[in-house]
């Protein structure tokens, strides 16, 4: 039997799409990955060299996608490689293929200088490879009756400020796609999205991109899905945008995912929201703790005042141990290597929870100043995930 384990090549494309559609359809429901994940699966984006395969006698038996992107976080560039489309043929289970591919991917990420790797999947299954739930954020649910109780009667009785209009963006809407691209680029944290493939980028997981216009026709922001990403030129317009989405979609209610750094959006919706929850988001593995922590602290300083304080920590990371002194002085954060005895010692999973998750027992033992910084923000929108 011939056996190949490694990255794919363009000649495998048709077999690859057939394979992942079959495997996910076998275990879950029928899938069409070209429609579900156009940016990751269309032929023009050449997904096979970004995917690791096990091939037996010329037939694909397992595959794992490892897709690169880059984030700008307050001027810090973070190299990201997202893991997805993890597939093993049902007749090839228990051969260790997924373990071999994941270990190969992790080895390559360390070699390639990747800073952060997100992944969607079972916590304990992928904890074995260094992934843990993080990306703490808020969910808010809101419906038409919430607006009626807070702002008055029917549509005509709502305040004049509720006159934003939500309009779908189509693939040929060049000016509006240009606007969305520029708005994303203006954010303190954003994925560096390719302008040419932006429409497919925004359509990941069958989402619909929207823009908001005011009574003069001016563009005031955009949304993706219902609503996984909301970017406005004035976050006080958040209720207006939500109402516009309810009207445009004909929905009775919407659930919003709001990252930690969008504090003004949460404040704007607080009176009208029916339910608010604080929860973990995507699983992440951190391979460069110093760089990721510093970037996240810089982002945190854009929406809250960081109390002065310092602590030292040794992290047993996937890419090796890192001992760091993390501090805030005069509101300015820093993270630097440290060669003394640390105040705390964490394995790679507990470190994700400590810095980026909703709960950490070790965090409870820290000083009030340090606890006030945490959790730190990791903003990963679904349009950028795998």
In this structure, are 263 and 293 located in the same domain?
no
Domain range enclosing 71 = 3-114
Which residues is 168 bridged to in the sheet?
A: 210
Least confident of 122-136, 155-169, 246-260, 354-368: 155-169
Residue 120 lies in a domain: no
In this structure, are 50 and 79 located in the same domain?
yes
Give the separation between CA 183 and CA 288, rounded to whole angstroms.
28
**Of 82, 114, 146, the domain-final residue:** 114
Residues of the chain above pLDDT 90, percent: 91
Asked if 40 and 82 count as a contact pair (C-beta separation under 8 A), the reply is: no
Structural domains counted in the chain = 3
In this structure, are 260 and 232 located in the same domain?
yes
Give the separation between CA 84 and CA 77, rounded to whole angstroms.
22
Residue 130 lies in a domain: no
In this structure, are 194 and 290 located in the same domain?
no
Give the separation between CA 47 and CA 21, rounded to whole angstroms.
14
In this structure, are 273 and 296 located in the same domain?
no
- Residue 343 backbone phi and psi in degrees, to 5: -75, -30
In this structure, are 57 and 22 located in the same domain?
yes
Residue 169 lies in a domain: yes
In this structure, are 248 and 203 located in the same domain?
yes
In this structure, are 109 and 157 located in the same domain?
no
Residue 127 lies in a domain: no
Taking all residues of the chain, what is their mean pLDDT, rounded to a whole number?
95
In this structure, are 169 and 254 located in the same domain?
yes
Which pLDDT value is given to residue 158? 59
For residue 5, the tally of other CB atoms under 10 A from its CB is 15
Which pLDDT value is given to residue 231? 98
In this structure, are 164 and 188 located in the same domain?
yes
Residue 386 lies in a domain: no
Q: State the pTM of this model.
A: 0.94
Which pLDDT value is given to residue 156? 58
**Of 254, 279, 304, the domain-final residue:** 279
Per-residue pLDDT tens for 279-332? 999 999 999 999 999 999 999 999 999 999 999 999 999 999 999 999 999 999
- List the strands of the sheet with 219-224, edge to edge: 165-168, 209-213, 219-224, 229-232
Residue 124 lies in a domain: no
Give the separation between CA 5 and CA 19, rounded to whole angstroms.
16
Q: What is the CATH number of the domain that holds 103?
A: 3.40.630.30
In this structure, are 27 and 148 located in the same domain?
no
For helices 348-356 and 289-300, the axis angle rounded to 10 degrees is 10
Asked if 135 and 380 count as a contact pair (C-beta separation under 8 A), the reply is: yes
Per-residue pLDDT tens for 174-199? 999 999 999 999 999 999 999 999 99
157 has a pLDDT exceeding 90: no
The mean pLDDT of 41-67, rounded to a whole number, is: 97
172 has a pLDDT exceeding 90: yes
3-state secondary structure of 275: strand
In this structure, are 102 and 201 located in the same domain?
no
What one-character DSSP code corresponds to residue 377?
A: P
Give the separation between CA 245 and CA 240, rounded to whole angstroms.
9
């Amino acid at each position: 039997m011939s056996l190949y384990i490694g990255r794919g090549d363009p000649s495998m494309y048709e077999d690859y799409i057939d394979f992942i559609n079959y495997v996910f359809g076998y275990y879950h429901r029928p899938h069409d990955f070209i429609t579900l994940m156009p940016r990751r699966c269309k032929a023009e984006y050449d997904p096979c060299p970004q995917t690791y395969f096990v091939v037996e006698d010329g037939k694909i038996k397992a595959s794992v996608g490892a897709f690169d992107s880059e984030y700008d976080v307050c001027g810090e560039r973070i190299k990201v490689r997202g893991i997805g489309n993890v597939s093993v043929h049902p007749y090839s289970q228990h051969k260790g293929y997924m373990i071999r591919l994941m270990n190969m991917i992790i080895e390559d990420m360390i070699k390639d200088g990747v800073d952060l790797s997100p992944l969607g999947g079972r916590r304990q299954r992928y904890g074995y490879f260094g992934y843990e739930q993080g990306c703490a954020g808020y969910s808010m649910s809101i419906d038409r009756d919430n607006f009626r109780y807070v702002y008055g009667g029917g549509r005509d009785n709502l305040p004049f400020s509720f006159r934003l209009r939500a309009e779908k963006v189509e693939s040929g809407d060049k000016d509006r796609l240009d606007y969305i691209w520029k708005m994303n680029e203006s954010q303190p944290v954003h994925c560096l999205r390719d302008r040419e493939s932006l429409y497919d980028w925004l359509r990941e997981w069958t989402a619909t991109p929207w823009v908001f216009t005011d009574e003069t026709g001016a563009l005031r922001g955009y949304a993706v899905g219902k609503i996984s990403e909301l970017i406005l030129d004035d976050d006080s317009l958040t209720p207006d945008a939500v109402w516009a989405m309810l009207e445009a979609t004909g929905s009775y209610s919407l659930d919003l995912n709001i990252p930690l750094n969008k504090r003004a959006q949460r404040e704007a919706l607080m009176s009208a929201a029916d339910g608010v929850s604080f929860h973990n988001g995507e699983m992440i593995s951190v391979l460069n703790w110093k760089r990721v922590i510093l970037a996240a602290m810089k982002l945190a300083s854009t929406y809250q005042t960081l109390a002065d304080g310092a602590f030292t920590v040794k992290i047993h990371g996937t890419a090796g141990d890192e001992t760091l002194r993390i501090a805030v002085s005069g509101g300015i954060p820093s993270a630097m290597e440290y060669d003394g005895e640390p105040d705390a010692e964490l394995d790679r999973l507990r470190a994700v929870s400590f810095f980026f998750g909703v709960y950490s027992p070790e965090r409870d033992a820290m000083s009030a100043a340090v606890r006030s910084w945490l959790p730190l923000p990791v903003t990963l929108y679904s349009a950028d995930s795998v």
